[in-house]
Amino acid sequence: MADLSSPIASFIVAEIRRARGSAGMTQEAFGRAAGYAASHVSSVENGTRALTIDFIRGADRGLNNGGLFERMIEELGRPSWFLPWLDAERTATQLRCFQPSLIPGLLQTQDYARAVIRCDDRLSDDEVDRRLAERMSRQEVLTKKDPPHFIAVIAESVIRRAGEDFRDIMAAQIKYLISLAERPNISIHILPDEISMHVGLTGPFSLARTGHQWLAEMENQLGGTVVDQDDDVDTLLSRWETVRNEALPRRQSIELMKEVVDSWT
């Protein structure tokens, strides 16, 4: 599943099913209390429909358990603040991302992603592997049937950040970006270093459109924030347009990435 690693999602679903049974609730009765049709409940319990944060919160309401399952997710899987974003990311028709410091997660190679995750020296090897698997799983959204249109703006300094011990990983990452940029649903634009001052310097952000609604996400050193207030989302959409307009066109961006790789050989 895109929002939780499969073992954790399966565990949470099994616990929801167990709690429903202990409460003597049929799928229909549970669905009414949680705000879902019985067929939806059945699909989640059978593993044919993704477990989402909305369903988990509905289960907590339906079982009147004080938010037990949402707390379990926060302890066992993704932090709860991130789950609404993952739901939006998985169902979006359009995705936008501005990154001034790293390659966006949806575009990272496995080696690059592992290096980024390992920057947190508090993580055990098992936790690094778990987070890496989750990040790679998220990327499936770009290759599924009817994928979203994804546009990324990446600062030029990001693709030039490669010390001697990191150059091979970075070269492979840029080649991967070039191959992704050839896909019809993916556009990658480089923001030149010569644009020294721009509104994006305040930090990275992502946008997802599901239906007629936009949702935004901003990460920071302590976690992140999902933004759903209309005024705040409108501000980020405006800032997106600003940084997008400062970036190079698609073809020029690809040529610049090729030049960077060629300069290392």
Q: What is the pLDDT of residue 78?
A: 58
67, 114: one domain: no
Dist. CA 229–CA 168, nearest whole Å: 42
- Mean pLDDT in residue range 242-265: 93
Q: What is the pLDDT of residue 218?
A: 86
Residue range(s) defining the domain that contains residue 48: 6-76
Token pair of 4 as six digits: 């939780």
**Percent helix, strand, coil in the chain (nearest 5)?**
55, 15, 30
118, 175: one domain: yes
* Strand duo 94-99 + 205-210: pairing: antiparallel
Q: What is the pLDDT of residue 2?
A: 38
Domain boundary among 44, 76, 108: 76
Say how many CA atoms lie within 13 Å of 122 toward its Cβ: 0
Q: What is the pLDDT of residue 79?
A: 55
The string of pLDDT tens digits covering residues 64-78 is 998 888 877 766 655
Q: What letters, b where the CB count within 10 A reaches 16 and e where it falls short, cover 121-139?
A: eeeeeeeeebbbebbeebb
Q: Which residue has the higher pLDDT, 124 or 38?
A: 38
96, 60: one domain: no
CATH at 24: 1.10.260.40
How far lies 164's CA from each of 116, 117, 130, 171, 264, in Å? 16, 19, 28, 11, 10
- How many structural domains are present in the chain? 2
CATH at 111: 3.30.870
pLDDT of 10 > 80? The answer is no
Supply angle C-alpha 52, 55, 58, rounded to 5. 150
105, 25: one domain: no
Reported as a pLDDT band with limits 50, 70 and 90, residue 3 is very low
Nearest to residue 148, comparing CAs of 205, 92, 211? 92
Domain membership of residue 184 (yes or no) is yes
Dist. CA 77–CA 79, nearest whole Å: 6
Q: What is the 3-state secondary structure (H, E, C) of 159-212?
A: HHCCCCCCHHHHHHHHHHHHHHHCCCCEEEEEECCCCCCCHHHHCCEEEEEECC
140, 12: one domain: no
Domain boundary among 14, 46, 76: 76
Q: What is the pLDDT of residue 1?
A: 35
Dist. CA 186–CA 83, nearest whole Å: 24
What is the percent of the chain with per-residue pLDDT over 90, rounded to a whole number? 53
Dist. CA 121–CA 251, nearest whole Å: 38
243, 140: one domain: yes
Q: Which residue has the higher pLDDT, 208 or 202?
A: 208
